Structure 1
Amino acid sequence: MATGMTTRETKRLQTRERLLGAAIAEFKRAGMAEADVSAIVGAAGVAHGTFFFHFPTKEHVLLELERREEARIAKRFAAFAKTHDDLASTLQEAVRQVLGLERRLGVVLFKEFLALHFSPTRPPAEEGDDHPLVVLVAEQIDRARGAGAIDPDVDAMNSAIFFLLGLYALLITVDDSQARKNLVDDYLTRTLRSLQPAVRPRR
């Protein structure tokens, strides 16, 4: 129990956790659009209206899941980056973290997670909305640029966004297979190659 929390506050958080867990399980089974709120509240052992007290819409469940998963990925990626200073390793780690997210969520929920992630109509997040993995990848690209390892004209933030958008698109459009693994490896190689300093023609 968190220090200073009342019994009522603790019970409210426990109820929210049960609802979140039940909702994620239902989303994995049926997808967000087809998810049955009655099944969710039944699994959580609460009244129907309790769901909407904690989560005004089903999209708000995904927002909470997004916040938690992004924090988890950012923490792991930042720890890795502290001991690896080459861009190839850190971009490969970003790929591993995203693949880990896909495994945890399952194919259906992963696709819906990303759809909401980039939706222009997504509900506002309660605790910021800066997509920390993008920021961390941009920091690694910027560090490589400062060390002279990549082209000095590279825009670190744009490159991070392009890299992750391309990775997400590849994962949700190609079934999990050896062919997809090969495509991901090739995508990483081509991304790194695109960041290399341009070869200037001799005069």
Structure 2
Amino acid sequence: MSEIQDKPQGRQAQRLHTRKRVLDAAVAEFGRAGAAEADIATIVEDAGVARGTFYFHFPTKEHVLLELEQREEARIAGELERYLRTPHDLAGVLAKVVRLIAALERRLGSKLFKDLLAVHFSPTRPLDDTWREHSVIALVAQEIEQAAERGEAQLVVESYHSAVFFLIGLYALLTTTSGSKALRTAVLADYVTTTLRSLEPR
């Protein structure tokens, strides 16, 4: 089947276009006010749709965040995969992940970034939505395993757990550190160094 034939046609294409407009308007409003205070009326006005159209595509505000999370996860995983096709070591991979997640925070803004993390760790997520299904975690775990195979790291715990611990710590630092850009950069660099030392062969 050709690429043209694979593209959505007719009503399906229109639905996807409308969904994207609603999502983009919701992301903008969430970034301005935060998810809890976001005004649905503002979202539908900016998207140029009826209020019912918002709820058709996104039954709750959490659904907006989940869709945004999936979109950004795919974006970051794609950028990380491109980086991994170039010569690299584990230190470079962890530093790249820090830059990608920090760029996401800047792009979304502090309020929306925190809302995204809240839904990411929400106990109300579907039970089959496990950490192992997150592509960024999978890529980091893969790189930790490969570093161990090269003798550059030691797996004290499962590589997946090491990747999860690294990302949780990164999220915590990004949401709690403030002050100058130089100070934050230094803190994040120290975090990468500390993570690498924790993985050093004993």
On the 8 A contact 1:71/1:132 being kept in 2, the answer is: yes
Report the AA paired with residue 80 of structure 1.
Answer: Y
Please give the alpha-carbon distance, in whole angstroms, between the structure 1 residues aligned to 2:111 and 2:96: 23
- Identity among equivalent positions (%) equals 53
What's 1:95 paired with? 98
Q: Where do residues 5-154 of structure 1 align in structure 2 (5 Å cutoff)? A: 5-122=8-125, 130-154=133-157
2:59 is paired with a residue whose SS is: coil
On the 8 A contact 1:22/1:43 being kept in 2, the answer is: yes
1:49 is paired with a residue whose SS is: helix
Query: After the TM superposition, which segments of 4 or more aligned residues of structure 1 sit over 6 Å from their partners?
Result: none
Please give the alpha-carbon distance, in whole angstroms, between the structure 2 residues aligned to 1:123 and 1:57: 14
Please give the alpha-carbon distance, in whole angstroms, between the structure 1 residues aligned to 2:40 and 2:111: 18
Moved more, 86-95 or 147-156: 147-156
1:155, distance to aligned residue in structure 2 (A): 2.2
1:152, distance to aligned residue in structure 2 (A): 4.6
1:197, distance to aligned residue in structure 2 (A): 1.0
Q: Runs of 5+ in structure 2 lacking a partner?
A: none
Structure number with higher relative contact order (C-alpha < 8 Å, ≥ 6 residues apart): 2
On the 8 A contact 2:155/2:199 being kept in 1, the answer is: no
1:35-64 alpha-carbon deviations (Å, 9 max, x no partner)? 010110011111111100000101111111
TM-score of the two chains, using structure 1 as the length reference = 0.90
Please give the alpha-carbon distance, in whole angstroms, between the structure 1 residues aligned to 2:74 and 2:156: 30
Please give the alpha-carbon distance, in whole angstroms, between the structure 2 residues aligned to 1:67 and 1:151: 31
1:84, distance to aligned residue in structure 2 (A): 2.8
Moved more, 116-125 or 52-61: 116-125
Equivalent pairs counted in the alignment come to 197
1:83 is paired with a residue whose SS is: coil
- Alignment root-mean-square deviation, CA: 2.0
Please give the alpha-carbon distance, in whole angstroms, between the structure 2 residues aligned to 1:124 and 1:82: 33
Q: Runs of 5+ in structure 1 lacking a partner?
A: 199-203
Please give the alpha-carbon distance, in whole angstroms, between the structure 2 residues aligned to 1:62 and 1:125: 18
On the 8 A contact 1:154/1:195 being kept in 2, the answer is: no
1:124, distance to aligned residue in structure 2 (A): 7.2
Q: Where do residues 148-187 of structure 1 align in structure 2 (5 Å cutoff)? A: 148-175=151-178, 177=180, 178-187=182-191
On the 8 A contact 2:132/2:138 being kept in 1, the answer is: no
Report the AA paired with residue 102 of structure 2.
Answer: L
Report the AA paired with residue 5 of structure 2.
Answer: T
1:46-89 alpha-carbon deviations (Å, 9 max, x no partner)? 11111000001011111111111100100110111121331000
TM-score of the two chains, using structure 2 as the length reference = 0.91
